[in-house]
């Protein structure tokens, strides 16, 4: 059975959300980060950086939330994607981790970056329910998780972006979201 390693209030909830969406059986291995379990040799053999999340799927080990999402989409996703579609999925997963997250959660970047990022996303969600159209994908898990952390961690005013707020409400109602990120509140 696939194992997902994470800690309380960690990015492991992003991978957990997608595992729940895919309905893949998995074991959540909760590490006590305060006690340093993520720095013990057993875990460092899985992720030498000592961060979470990480997964073990049979003999395969992987860390970094974005890489985990893309792996799960490729291996367990319910629809086949062309190379172009896979590239679009990767684009949004990388955008979430490399651009959206730092643009919102980096105080030094927020004032400059957030209005542009949120305006672009708002424009997309004004015309379609999900990032790539009518189908919920791993891209929505990646971007949606970052957006969902805003009210949990920052309490920023998102009223200028009503389509983003509607998107956040829509994804927060998904049963898999409620089990993972939604259970963190």
DSSP string, 67-97: HHHHHHHHHH-SS---HHHHHHHHHHHHHII
Chain mean position to CA 18: 8
112 pLDDT above the threshold of 60: yes
pLDDT for position 134 = 95
pLDDT for position 49 = 96
pLDDT tens for 56-104 read: 999 999 999 999 999 999 999 987 778 999 999 999 999 999 999 999 9
pLDDT tens for 146-176 read: 999 999 899 899 999 999 999 999 999 999 9
6 pLDDT above the threshold of 60: yes
> What is the C-alpha separation between 9 and 119, in angstroms, rounded?
28
């Amino acid at each position: 059975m696939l194992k997902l390693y994470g800690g309380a209030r960690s990015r492991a909830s992003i991978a957990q959300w997608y595992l729940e969406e895919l309905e893949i059986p998995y074991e959540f291995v909760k590490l006590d980060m305060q006690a340093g379990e993520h720095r013990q040799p057993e875990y460092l053999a899985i992720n030498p950086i000592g961060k979470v999340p990480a997964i073990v799927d049979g003999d395969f080990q992987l860390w970094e939330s974005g890489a985990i999402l893309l792996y799960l989409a490729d291996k367990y996703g319910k629809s086949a994607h062309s190379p172009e579609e896979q590239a679009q999925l990767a684009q949004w997963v990388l955008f979430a981790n490399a651009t959206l997250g730092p643009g919102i959660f980096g105080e030094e970047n927020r004032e400059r970056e957030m209005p542009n990022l949120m305006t672009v996303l708002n424009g997309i969600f004004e015309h379609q329910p999900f990032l790539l159209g009518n189908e919920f994908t791993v891209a929505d898990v990646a971007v949606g998780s970052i957006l969902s952390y805003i009210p949990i961690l920052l309490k920023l005013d998102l009223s200028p972006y009503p389509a983003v707020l509607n998107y956040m409400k829509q994804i927060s109602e998904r049963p898999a979201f409620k089990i993972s990120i939604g259970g963190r509140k």
